[in-house]
């Protein structure tokens, strides 16, 4: 039986791609084929970029409060359709429905923030910089912007990009992940209902051909990328070479430090959720936990107990916390890393291979202890429900281990010691820090980005930096003749 083929959304119409190559989108919890996604061609991308460029000439002239009003309407529609959106996230990504609701909520918050564009786009002025001379800053959109997004947050990550981009007067060509493309159909229908004019938001499904088109098309002025480190590095270098503004948010290996005075009743559930939520397929996942030796034994007993209680299964089912990983290749990669950890001499204390379930791409929560910084399982971003534990003698050793990683996205500390918290904040290499919480993902009004190999660019996503990324300034310096009146 043939399955439905997705179409691209260009100039307010669903149009068939010119490609002959399609990839099947499967439900990772059941392996059921849900639709075919086109791996669109350069011609498809060129068409979308040209349309978006034409739409920009009109959209940039629309008064900022009018643009914001469309976002208010969109925001209301998102709230009314929350259940359907969350279900779609679980269907195509596999994460538990409760997590999908959290993701949808995060997306909605980005629209709330972007609807503040009339305030966020205000410039500055100084009425007197010299005798009879004043200076003012005005903010303008930059043109057509391209978005390239990963599979792990099919809703939240695109929402870091297009609401602010269109609120500030740009037009958008988005290339969602080919592994989780279906949610965008629903999002487009809500944008249409909210009254967004044709051509302002366009979606071209595909893979590297579309990405290369975005990186090379002369009408695309900026690129927002979120995905893995090698691809993010390529997008940043190639986009910059083509003189585009690029923000590239990439991979992670987040470290959590637990000190002797940590409250285990609160920290264990937070760490279990951060390590195994979304099957570890989160850029803010807790990948390594370093535990001070005084609390180590008690921590391990409690951690193992809590991990054994995790319910794995289809994310749509009640009480399920751990869903599948996204594809067979991700499952194979996870099993390979578990083998590598064993071969390197790490101690496997929870073996997710005991819970493999052929119905989907399932692997149970896995914990290694005795991990060292020369092991691949410590170095690489595993992006899987596999947690590494290391014993440390003090906070400094925990910081040294974390700072030795090439990645520096998030880092967490569990303690009630104020001096330790300050020392951690001042000395850890990471862009997003959590104190006594497991996933320190900043809200929409704050910037989202890591350091080192976790981020390439100058202006990160969200917050005021996001406004700056999607705008450019004119500074007017004006002399006025002195009035006789």
> Which residues are part of the catalytic machinery?
283
Q: φ and ψ at 459, to 5 degrees?
A: -105, 115
178 is in an annotated binding site: yes
Tell me how many helices (H) and strands (E) the chain has: 16, 22
Pick from 92, 109, 178, 292 the residue near ligand NAD by CB under 6 A: 178
- How far, rounded to the nearest angstrom, does the alpha carbon of residue 306 sit from its chain's CA centroid? 27
Size of the site for ligand NAD (CB under 6 A): 27
Written as six digits, the tokens of 139 are 């903010």
Which of the ranges 9-17, 104-112, 144-152, 296-304 carries the binding residues for ligand NAD, by CB under 6 A?
A: 144-152
Which of the ranges 8-16, 226-234, 362-370, 415-423 carries the binding residues for ligand NAD, by CB under 6 A?
A: 226-234
Our CB check for ligand NAD shows the closer of 326 and 346 to be 326
Nearest to 165 by CA among 474, 472, 467: 467
Shortest Cβ contact with ligand NAD: which residue? 227
CA–CA separation, 293 vs 391, rounded Å? 6
Q: Does 231 bind ligand NAD (CB under 6 A)?
A: yes
Smallest separation (angstroms) from ligand NAD to the CB of 124? 30
CA–CA separation, 464 vs 424, rounded Å? 25
Describe the crossing of helices 64-80 and 156-167 by its angle, rounded to 10 degrees: 150
Our CB check for ligand NAD shows the closer of 228 and 240 to be 228
Q: Of 342-401, which residues contact ligand NAD (CB under 6 A)?
A: 381, 383
Residue 460: how many CA atoms within 13 Å on its side-chain side? 19
Our CB check for ligand NAD shows the closer of 150 and 324 to be 150
Q: Does 162 bind ligand NAD (CB under 6 A)?
A: no
Which of the ranges 3-11, 109-117, 203-211, 315-323 carries the binding residues for ligand NAD, by CB under 6 A?
A: 203-211
In a 3-state reduction of DSSP, which class is residue 110? helix
Smallest separation (angstroms) from ligand NAD to the CB of 207? 5
Our CB check for ligand NAD shows the closer of 201 and 383 to be 383
Residue 441 is given by DSSP the state P
- Give residue for tokens 């043939």: 2
Our CB check for ligand NAD shows the closer of 21 and 417 to be 21
In a 3-state reduction of DSSP, which class is residue 10? strand
Our CB check for ligand NAD shows the closer of 236 and 321 to be 236
Tell me the per-residue interface mask from 249 to 278 with ligand NAD, x by CB under 6 A, - otherwise.
Answer: xxxx--------------------------
Pick from 55, 78, 117, 157 the residue near ligand NAD by CB under 6 A: 157
Q: Of 289-348, which residues contact ligand NAD (CB under 6 A)?
A: none
407-408 and 220-226 as β-strands: parallel, antiparallel, unpaired? Answer: unpaired
- How far, rounded to the nearest angstrom, does the alpha carbon of residue 333 sit from its chain's CA centroid? 21
Pick from 21, 81, 105, 228 the residue near ligand NAD by CB under 6 A: 228
Smallest separation (angstroms) from ligand NAD to the CB of 16? 20
Our CB check for ligand NAD shows the closer of 139 and 179 to be 179
Tell me the per-residue interface mask from 400 to 419 with ligand NAD, x by CB under 6 A, - otherwise.
Answer: ---------x----------
Residues 448/432, Cβ–Cβ less than 8 Å: yes
Smallest separation (angstroms) from ligand NAD to the CB of 211? 4
Contacts of 455 by beta carbon, 8 Å cutoff, 6+ apart: 247, 248, 249, 250, 409, 431, 449
Q: Does 283 bind ligand NAD (CB under 6 A)?
A: yes
Describe the crossing of helices 296-308 and 264-276 by its angle, rounded to 10 degrees: 50
CA–CA separation, 103 vs 93, rounded Å? 11
CA–CA separation, 69 vs 76, rounded Å? 11
Residues 116/68, Cβ–Cβ less than 8 Å: yes
Which of the ranges 39-47, 119-127, 170-178, 263-271 carries the binding residues for ligand NAD, by CB under 6 A?
A: 170-178
151 is in an annotated binding site: yes
304 is in an annotated binding site: no
80 is in an annotated binding site: no
192 is in an annotated binding site: no
Nearest to 242 by CA among 209, 272, 216: 216
Contacts of 438 by beta carbon, 8 Å cutoff, 6+ apart: 256, 270, 271, 273, 274, 275, 286, 412
CA–CA separation, 252 vs 287, rounded Å? 9
Annotated binding site: 151, 175, 178-179, 250, 381
Q: Which residues make up the interface to ligand NAD (CB under 6 A)?
A: 148-153, 157, 175, 177-178, 207-208, 211, 226-228, 231, 249-252, 283, 381, 383, 409, 450, 454
Annotated binding site for NAD(+): 151, 175, 178-179, 250, 381
């Amino acid at each position: 039986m043939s399955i439905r083929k997705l179409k691209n959304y260009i100039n307010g119409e669903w149009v068939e791609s010119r490609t002959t190559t399609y990839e099947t989108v499967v439900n990772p919890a059941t392996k059921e084929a849900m639709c075919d996604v086109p791996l669109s061609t350069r011609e498809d991308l060129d068409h979308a970029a040209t349309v978006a460029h034409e739409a920009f000439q009109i959209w940039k002239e629309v008064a900022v409060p009018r643009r914001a009003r469309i976002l208010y309407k969109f925001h209301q529609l998102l709230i009314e359709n929350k259940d359907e959106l969350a279900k779609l996230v679980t269907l195509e990504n596999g994460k538990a429905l409760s997590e999908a609701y959290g993701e949808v909520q995060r997306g909605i918050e980005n629209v709330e923030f972007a609807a503040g564009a009339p305030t966020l786009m205000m410039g500055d002025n100084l009425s007197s910089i010299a005798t009879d001379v004043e200076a003012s800053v005005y903010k303008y959109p930059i043109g057509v912007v391209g978005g390239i997004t990963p599979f792990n947050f099919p809703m939240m990550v695109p929402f870091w990009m297009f609401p602010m981009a269109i609120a500030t007067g740009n037009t958008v060509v988005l290339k969602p992940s080919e592994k989780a493309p279906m949610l965008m159909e629903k999002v487009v229908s809500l944008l249409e209902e909210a009254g967004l004019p044709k051509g302002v938001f366009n979606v071209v499904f595909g893979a590297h051909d579309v990405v290369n088109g975005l990186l090379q098309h002369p009408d695309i002025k900026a690129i927002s990328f979120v995905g893995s480190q090698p691809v993010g590095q390529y997008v940043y270098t190639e986009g910059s070479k083509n003189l585009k503004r690029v923000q590239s948010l990439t991979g992670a290996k987040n470290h959590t430090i637990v000190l002797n005075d940590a409250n285990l009743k609160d920290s264990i559930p937070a760490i279990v959720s951060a390590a195994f939520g979304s099957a570890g397929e989160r850029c803010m996942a807790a990948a390594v936990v370093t535990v001070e030796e005084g609390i180590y034994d008690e921590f391990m007993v409690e951690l193992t107990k809590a991990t054994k209680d995790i319910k794995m299964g289809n994310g749509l089912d009640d009480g399920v916390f751990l869903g599948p990983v996204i594809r067979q290749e991700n499952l194979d990669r996870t099993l390979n890393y578990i083998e590598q950890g064993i071969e390197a001499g790490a101690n496997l204390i929870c073996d997710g291979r005991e819970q493999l379930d052929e119905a989907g791409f399932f692997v149970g929560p896995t914990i290694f202890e005795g991990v060292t910084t020369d092991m691949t399982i410590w170095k690489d971003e595993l992006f899987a429900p596999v947690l590494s534990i290391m014993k440390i003698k003090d906070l400094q050793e925990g910081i040294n281990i974390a700072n030795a990683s090439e990645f520096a996205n998030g880092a967490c500390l569990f303690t009630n010691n104020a001096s330790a918290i300050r020392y951690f904040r001042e000395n850890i290499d990471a862009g997003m820090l959590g104190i006594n919480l497991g996933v320190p993902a900043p809200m929409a009004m704050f910037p989202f980005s890591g350091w080192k190999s976790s981020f390439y660019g100058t202006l990160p996503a969200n917050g005021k930096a996001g406004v700056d990324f999607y705008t450019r300034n004119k500074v007017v310096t004006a002399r006025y003749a002195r009035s006789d009146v």
